[in-house]
A and B are shown apart, each in its own frame.
Chain A
Amino acid sequence: MKAVRAYLRSPAGIIGAVLLVAVIAAALSADWLFPRDPMALAGRPLQWPGANPRLPLGTDNLGRDIAGFIFHGARVSLLIGLVASVVAVGIGVLVGAVAGFYGGWVDDLLMRITEAFQTVPNFILLLVLVAVFGSELEVITIAIGLVGWTAPCRLVRAEFLSLRSREFVLAARGLGMRDAQLILGEVLPNALPPVIVYASVTMAIAILLESALAFLGLSDPNVASWGNMIGAGRSVLRTEWYVSAIPGAAILTTVLAFSLVGQGLNDALNPRMQVL
């Protein structure tokens, strides 16, 4: 309860929560408000927003209903963001916890691997994974998680390094707890707050990465992804720029929502840490 009240004191957190609720509402109501297939032809191509009352945001150059596409796209973005973050944070927590808890050569080895992942530019690594494993939605989502685990890993490792020799851990060890119990039951719960804050940043990054892939035409072409429509609108950019502009504004809103929620969580959970 204290955390909730602290969260509500942060203006960034409140605006972020409102935006996020709006995006989630769009995702949930997509099937109900726009029951037709968002990828299907809805009318004459390239109708400007407002020109046709039946299609409030107009149609793109493939004749798709932009409003319906935006609503269904919210679902895709949130799903990819969520699953990719779970993958990234999951791997990060696992590797970071083992490295930080055991230290020594285990830590050395795992940290070199982490550095290797950080050294290869994440978008280029993503391209390699797509080139090797294909571009189905599941593959893309896991690949985005695979390129994003290093930051949560470093956070968890730092927390474990500082927590592992605290008295409560030593006491638990003295009681005869096994390593797995110590890691999962004692240290991890105390190391989680900064990771939870960072998860919102991971979501934002995952959504941006997927939209960039879709924009380049390298994501799953059968999914209503916002980046996909921005890419399609590129060929009519000179005259019908709204085709690219509208889905971009949707991405901006969603990413902004996650960043602001992250800031609010940060203010509430660990006021001393600066989220970047």
Chain B
Amino acid sequence: MKRLGGLALRRLAQSLPVLAIILIGLFLLLQLAPGDTVDALMAQMGGGSAEDAARLRTQYGLDAGVAVQLGRYLLRLLTFDLGQSAIYGKPVASVIAERLAVTAMFMSCALAFAFSAGLVLGVLAARRVNGWPDTVISTLGLVFYAIPSFWLGLMLIVLFSVKLAWLPPGGFESIGAGLSGLDRVLDIATHLVLPTLSLALIFLAIYLRLMRASMLEVMNLDFVRTARAKGLSEGHVLWRHVLRNALLPMVTFIGLQFSTMLGGSVVIESVFSLPGLGRLAFESVVQRDLNTLLGIVLVSAVLVIIVNFLVDILYAKLDPRIGANS
């Protein structure tokens, strides 16, 4: 327990400078953006005099030096104040909070599906390496990796929503159906099937290749030969000895890929009109709502850091060698 505690503290301490760099980078990027908050406000009001602009700049603290503004910006963030959203007329923090649950649920589904399907296919391919199942699975992996997720989403809509009418073409749940309890859960689940498939397929391909390579590597290790030599069945060796060790790199990859997956959700949430963080990011670009967009960057960076932190702890729990020394 002490080992895990120390590791957790070290990892948290390492992520703080990264977060600081992101914040400073965002702030500097904002300085480069043509026009500031006051310009946007004046445009909304339909123009105004130069004196009004100067007064507003003083009011918003935009007349101070860059360093002072950066300090104020960081202080505001410490109190979770992300500013006002220009399109929703509400604090950015509450706009994001409303969208977070949908994205969290969507991401968990996609991650779980990509991980488990990649694992099973990877094991199947590794069991008969260079046999026909391996060739089929590896080829599928290559093709999956090349499919643009948003296009796959559209084609799935054509097939399963338009032609077959099995699944809804978009949305998070049936609006106005007044469902509750288990019915509502099932309704949301049917809405999430197609988006999950579209987002997960490319990651499934990555997990599948990683799992196959990792299984093949572990299968050649000495302890596997020992397990075989003492007369364990092939299935037992595979599932109890090889699989458990081959899983470790897969776990690391959850953390590495989470950020990419979160980025991919922008397009998929837009294709399927899911009211999540990704769609909010798209809307805020279209509407030029920089405050909201930067808030999303910040929240997604924090999410990525949290997921990586959890993955590190999980990894250390699975592999007792990690964090034992130092």
Chain A positions within 8 Å of B, measured between CB atoms, are 12, 112-113, 115-116, 118-133, 204, 208, 211-212, 215-218, 227, 230, 233-234, 237-238, 241, 244-245, 248, 251-253, 255-256, 259-260, 263, 274, 276
Contact = CB atoms under 8 A, between A and B. Distances in A.
A122 B265 CA distance: 11
A131 B209 contact: no
A237 B161 CA distance: 11
A276 B252 CA distance: 14
A118 B33 CA distance: 22
A255 B148 CA distance: 9
Contact of B158 (A121, A124, A227, A237): A237
Contacts of B147: 252
Contact of A112 (B21, B157, B297): B21
Interface stretch (B108-116, B227-235, B288-296): B288-296
B242 interface: no
B260 A127 contact: no
Interface in B135-152: 142-143, 145-151
Given A208-B148, A255-B146, A215 B304 contact: no
Contacts of B194: none
Contacts of B213: 274
B48 interface: no
A122 B148 contact: no
Q: Chain B contact residues (Cβ within 8 angstroms of A): what range?
A: 35 or more
B92 interface: no
A124 B146 contact: no
B263 interface: yes
Contacts of A128: 26, 29, 293-294, 297
Given A216-B282, A237-B158, A132 B151 contact: no
Contacts of A218: 285-286
A-B residue pairs, 9 tightest by C-beta = A123-B263, A121-B263, A248-B151, A256-B146, A255-B146, A116-B21, A121-B262, A132-B33, A241-B158
Given A120-B22, A121-B259, A131-B293, A204 B146 contact: yes
Given A124-B281, A127-B282, A132-B32, A212 B150 contact: yes
Contacts of B290: 131-132
Contact of B285 (A130, A238, A263): A130
Contacts of B261: 121
A251 B142 contact: no
Contacts of B286: 217-218
A123 B266 contact: yes
Nearest to B158: A241
Contacts of A234: 154
12 contacts: A12-B142, A116-B19, A116-B21, A124-B297, A124-B300, A131-B285, A132-B32, A212-B267, A215-B267, A227-B148, A241-B154, A253-B146
A233 B26 CA distance: 35
Contacts of B270: 216
A211 B148 contact: yes
Contacts of B262: 121, 124
Contacts of B274: none
Contact of B259 (A119, A208, A253): A119
A248 B162 contact: no
Given A124-B296, A234-B154, A251-B148, A118 B143 contact: no
B305 interface: yes
B25 interface: yes
A173 B17 CA distance: 34
A217 B271 CA distance: 12
Given A112-B17, A128-B26, A131-B288, 6 more contacts: A120-B259, A124-B300, A132-B290, A241-B158, A244-B155, A274-B209
Interface string B253-282: 000000111111011001000000000011
Contacts of A215: 148, 150-151, 267
A119 B142 contact: no
B285 A127 contact: yes
Nearest to A245: B155
A112 B260 CA distance: 18
Given A216-B270, A238-B162, A120 B301 contact: yes
B206 interface: yes
A163 to B, nearest CB: 24
A44 B145 CA distance: 36
B265 to A, nearest CB: 8
Nearest to A256: B146
A124 B22 contact: no
A129 B213 CA distance: 36
B320 to A, nearest CB: 26
Contacts of A125: 263, 297
B150 A230 contact: yes
